[in-house]
Structure 1
Amino acid sequence: MHTVSSSGPARVGSRREAASERTRVRPDIQGLRALAVVVVVLDHLIGWPSGGFIGVDIFFVISGFLITGLLLREFEKTGRISFGDFYRRRIKRIIPASAAAILATLLGAFAVFGPSRFLETAQDGGAAALFGANWRFAADGTDYFRVGVPVSPLQHFWSLSVEEQFYFVWPAVMLLVLALVARHPSGGRSRARVGAGLMIGLISAASFAWALWETQSSPTQAYFSTFSRAWELGAGAALACAAPLCSRLAPRVRPLLAWLGMGLMLAALFLIDSSSAFPAPWALLPVLGAVLVILAGTGAEHHAFLLPLTNPVSGYLGNISYSLYLWHFPVVILGGAVFLNRAPLFYLGCAAAMLLLAVFSYHLIEDPVRRSTWLSGWKARAGGTTTADRRTARGAGFRRAAAATALTAVVCAVSIPHIPAHSRSIQLSNTPAVDVSEETAALQEQIRAALRSSDWPELDPTIDEAMNGQLAPADITACGGTGPITVSACTWGDPDATRRVVVVGDSIAISWTSALREAVGSTDGWAVTGLGTSGCTFTELLIRNPSARLLRACEGRKEQVVEAINDLRPDVVIIANTYEPRFPMGRDESLTTEEWKDSTASIVSRFSDSVGSVVFLSPPPLTTDIQKCYSKIAEPSFCAGQVRQRWRTFATAEQELAGELNGSFISPELWFCAEGWCPSFVGSTPVMRDLVHMTPSYQLEIAPALRSELLDRGILRSRQSSPENR
């Protein structure tokens, strides 16, 4: 993650200069790097601590401090900043190791992922290589329908992109300000730091103000945005400008500052989580903590007061932290595609793999290239480190890599026999479902056949196409946006209909609208109106959503839906919402079943006098996420899953709510599963496009069974009183 080595020379020169630079290695900063990378790895691997992602913010502070200090020292020594030397160091420091990680990840993705996910990963790789990954992931994160898409194995490159974009312009800005101050009659090189510090302060203040606004208005954009993150690098840069003043700190004050900084960072690890306003203002906590730790050690000769950061283990982890950051995330994501079930072997295997890859990368690529004379020109080759020095460094690196190779062989020998087969053992009885319609019985027969299949059939569309296809037909999807509701454009069926079904809810309602249009629209005298809104749960409480635009529109859309129902006075209102955890605005705990029932009953009460009956239609059972399990190495049974308890709990609650409101409840379980097992395809049709949404093709497949259920319940067959008589 870090983008400059504290031991890297400001310019390639003599052995004396190189040795002088190496004496400036800061053990406390190496320890901070170790802390930052360890908490990031823990967060991505096991999801603990809740604020582990703040390691990135610590890295930003470190990078801002080191690189700005390097530029200041060069200007004070020579009166200029060599852009050529700066960017040559950047290339040597960043490109070789990151290129190796990107290429290896793409090879792994090609071997494991399906075509579309590999193509997505390849595009992510291109963005990462060009240091534009943060903008790519920010754009993807604002699209609601991508919420269920698996995380890219290269998503962690967003932070490197932020740093490199910042430093692409930083040397020029620094040189301009430093030169202007130095040339002023009252200036000089000694005052250049003051001018630079003032400029950095203004930039950082503006960036923080922008981050505060963007975190509230568009949190996904804010998280990835260079403009919303610049103040974190600026905090480290400002400290670099004030470095000469730090030598005046009393020795007894330094430990207090260091431990206060450690306390702030540790507090951030447990006080901050994914629901916190981030990066502003909550990133202030880890940023201030990192600044205090670096401040405490600036101008000091030793750092014995901070042993947790300055011990040899932390020092080595700090050395390999960049390589460890590069490799840990691809290991977690690609490993997750191989180990669908998170057994202890998965976590141990990932930890060993990422650590070994980091050791190889650091000692065989990162450190040798950084020490080499590549891109440094003939003067560096003539006056730089000697061949003997380079051989000594290479020898030490190869010895460590050899030890890692031996350890890798042992790990592989132990782990390979325990790698799980990419299939499941599914035991089904020969007893078919009873008391079901002919249409449901036919689906059950195909479901059971799919669960027993050991080979993927020829599917239309392919699973790959289904995962990347639309949520529903385009005209239905268009009605689920955030704009004003147009009832006429979102109504289908008999043009002379005297009876009407209105479908409301979130994106689940949109996916059911396609099946209901086929089921209800084919019945004489009936029409279907789709008023669902993607990402807008149909409850009285406002539910959080990562899209600020959608969140702002949700309350208005619900008001429009209630008004439309009261105007239309339909015969039936069908409510369909997701059973995934839902978090009300201002709360970190998800809705309980009782809270959900109360909130749903509250919004239903606002139109209950205007409708004939209310029907609760459950979403498809929550089982295995096809987006995560489907790969080139997976058999069909590997992507078959059992119905999750959460789905059953909320289905039971919804059934109770229907009884309390004198409504109806319909469970679609038998259209998706047999004996609690749910396949990824039925016949020649993929069932699910992600964890919660069925494919448009399967929406049509189950329409006959849905129609039969509605008729059997009397919801369609029973002629309701006309609207004007109610």
Structure 2
Amino acid sequence: MTTTATARNAGLDTLRALAIALVFANHYMLFISGAPTLGWFGEIGWSGVDLFFALSGYLIGNQILGAIRRSQQSGSRFSLGRFYARRLLRTVPNFYVVLALFACWPYFRMDLVLPPLWQFLTFTQNIGLQPGTAFSHAWSLCVEEQFYFLLPALALLIAACRKSLLLAWLAVAAALIGGMLIRSHLWTSYVAAAPEGSRAFYTLIYYSSLCRFDELVVGVALALLKNYHAAVWARLTAHGNWLLLAGGVALALVWSHFLADHYGYAMTVYGYPLLGLSYALLLLAALSPGSLLQKARLPGAGAIALWSYAIYLVHKTLCMLLRAPLQAQGWEPDHWATVLLMAAASVLAGFLLYQLVERPFMALRDRYVPSHEVLAVTRQPAASAVR
């Protein structure tokens, strides 16, 4: 769910802005208005998290795999320590500041129960998470952090093996198939007999790391394709507008099936990888030179994309806190003016968090941990030994 400040791409910014808009619409429907105020866009808005996963999977996967490939060619070394340091300096400051508000200011968490702090501090809050707890939307960050804790170590291990490229693609396939098998087992054993949209579905499947990494894996697969199959990548990205059309059609079909049967067996098992495939097509379109998605610069999309992580962390609770005082002034939650006001407040809060916390720590990261690669040092013979 994070962004990168370098080499910004208008297409990726548009997708990131779409992701946070989807999430906002869904949370507004669930926690503010209690009705489909924004129509089908709000009902399917939960999939904005999956779009964040796909974006993050590609961007971080490209960093890791690109560094490993360069190390194989130039002798530089990918540093796990530096990768983790850069990752934590990117995600932890914003997260811990918002967490401190929940932990130290009872008004901020309202009457909701806050899970134990150690679960947030160790990014394990999503494991066994019960819906309706304070700061519950941090579950997606936990899934990302767990994934990126394991990914670079696994990538280095595979790179050290014979036929590493084949093993890498087998790992991608195994992860997607494994996710479907796990969801199938959990749905059949625990969710089938429960009411639609029950707590069991959310706790065991929706919030679970083992069940929700499909789009992250798909994003990494795109990075693998870019770094190790350059000819195929070039042929694909030469048809950016067709990819955009295919991704839009595929996404519309997947969304329509999720809207019709979000909690059913078929969409629970197969829907997430299909959603990942749809987003992968849109990502390819965004990365295709000259495509409409890459060329079109929507007003404000770049800024929203840059602040999207901060907006994600604060928007839900902020809107919940604003609901009662706004309603007391006659601003009903289902009115379009109230929606716009809360959206603007969320963007402003995200901007302030970005400026006051995220940006300074990004500057520290760039100063003290500028790269996750260590250049190889060639030892020169001592001067006395040279004749």
Aligned twin of 2:25: 42
Quote how far apart the aligned CAs of 1:329 are. Answer: 1.4
Among candidates 279, 304, 318, match of residue 290 of structure 1: 279
Contact in 2 for aligned 1:335/1:346 (Cα 8 Å): no
Relative distance call for 1:282 and 1:338 in structure 2 (3 A) is: farther
Aligned twin of 1:361: 353
Aligned twin of 1:166: 147
Relative distance call for 1:196 and 1:358 in structure 2 (3 A) is: same
Contact in 2 for aligned 1:229/1:279 (Cα 8 Å): no
Q: Structure 2: which amino acid aligns with 1:166?
A: F
Relative distance call for 1:256 and 1:294 in structure 2 (3 A) is: same
Residue 59 of structure 1 aligns to a residue whose secondary structure is: helix
Answer yes or no: is 1:326 the counterpart of 2:313: yes
Q: Distance in 1 between matches of 2:317 and 2:210?
A: 27
Q: Distance in 1 between matches of 2:170 and 2:236?
A: 21
Among candidates 53, 57, 63, match of residue 50 of structure 2: 57
Among candidates 287, 308, 311, match of residue 298 of structure 2: 311
Quote how far apart the aligned CAs of 1:327 are. Answer: 1.0
Q: Distance in 1 between matches of 2:223 and 2:26?
A: 30
Aligned twin of 1:400: none
Q: Structure 2: which amino acid aligns with 1:303?
A: S
Contact in 1 for aligned 2:243/2:285 (Cα 8 Å): yes
Q: Structure 2: which amino acid aligns with 1:90?
A: R
Answer yes or no: is 1:238 the counterpart of 2:208: no
Answer yes or no: is 1:280 the counterpart of 2:273: no
Gaps of 5+ in 1: 8-21, 142-150, 182-186, 381-726
**Greater share of helix:** 2
Q: Distance in 1 between matches of 2:121 and 2:292?
A: 40
Quote how far apart the aligned CAs of 1:378 are. Answer: 10
Question: Which range moved further: 200-209 or 161-170?
Answer: 200-209
Among candidates 142, 162, 175, match of residue 156 of structure 2: 175
**What is the aligned-residue RMSD (CA, Å)?**
2.9
Quote how far apart the aligned CAs of 1:318 are. Answer: 1.4
Question: Which range moved further: 210-219 or 360-369?
Answer: 210-219
Q: Distance in 2 between matches of 1:377 and 1:289?
A: 35
Relative distance call for 1:104 and 1:250 in structure 2 (3 A) is: closer
Contact in 2 for aligned 1:254/1:296 (Cα 8 Å): yes
Contact in 1 for aligned 2:315/2:346 (Cα 8 Å): yes
Answer yes or no: is 1:198 the counterpart of 2:190: no
Contact in 1 for aligned 2:285/2:294 (Cα 8 Å): no
Quote how far apart the aligned CAs of 1:289 are. Answer: 1.5
Among candidates 107, 110, 113, match of residue 113 of structure 1: 110
Question: Which range moved further: 154-163 or 269-278?
Answer: 269-278
1:306-349 C-alpha deviation (Å, 9 max, x unpaired): 556x4342222211111111111111333346567744475344
Quote how far apart the aligned CAs of 1:81 are. Answer: 2.6
Relative distance call for 1:374 and 1:73 in structure 2 (3 A) is: closer
Relative distance call for 1:330 and 1:108 in structure 2 (3 A) is: farther
Contact in 1 for aligned 2:214/2:276 (Cα 8 Å): no
Q: Distance in 2 between matches of 1:162 and 1:105?
A: 20
1:42-95 C-alpha deviation (Å, 9 max, x unpaired): 111134421110011111111211111111111111244311111111111101
Quote how far apart the aligned CAs of 1:172 are. Answer: 0.9
Aligned twin of 2:81: 84
Quote how far apart the aligned CAs of 1:229 are. Answer: 1.3
Quote how far apart the aligned CAs of 1:275 are. Answer: 4.1
Answer yes or no: is 1:261 the counterpart of 2:282: no
Answer yes or no: is 1:97 the counterpart of 2:94: yes
Q: Distance in 2 between matches of 1:83 and 1:293?
A: 30
Q: Distance in 2 between matches of 1:67 and 1:379?
A: 13
Among candidates 122, 131, 135, match of residue 154 of structure 1: 135
Aligned twin of 1:372: 364
Q: Distance in 2 between matches of 1:39 and 1:60?
A: 13
Aligned twin of 1:212: 184
Quote how far apart the aligned CAs of 1:109 are. Answer: 3.4
Aligned twin of 2:236: 249
Residue 281 of structure 1 aligns to a residue whose secondary structure is: helix
Aligned twin of 1:350: 342
Q: Structure 2: which amino acid aligns with 1:76?
A: R
Quote how far apart the aligned CAs of 1:372 are. Answer: 2.1
Aligned twin of 1:392: none
Among candidates 266, 289, 294, match of residue 301 of structure 1: 289
Contact in 2 for aligned 1:214/1:228 (Cα 8 Å): no
Contact in 2 for aligned 1:131/1:160 (Cα 8 Å): yes
Quote how far apart the aligned CAs of 1:267 are. Answer: 4.6
Question: Which range moved further: 353-362 or 285-294?
Answer: 285-294
Aligned twin of 2:126: 134
Q: Distance in 2 between matches of 1:84 and 1:229?
A: 26
Q: Distance in 1 between matches of 2:369 and 2:207?
A: 36
Residue 136 of structure 2 aligns to a residue whose secondary structure is: coil
Quote how far apart the aligned CAs of 1:211 are. Answer: 2.1
Q: Distance in 2 between matches of 1:60 and 1:227?
A: 14
Q: Distance in 2 between matches of 1:348 and 1:241?
A: 40
Quote how far apart the aligned CAs of 1:375 are. Answer: 8.1
Contact in 2 for aligned 1:276/1:282 (Cα 8 Å): no
Contact in 1 for aligned 2:109/2:317 (Cα 8 Å): no
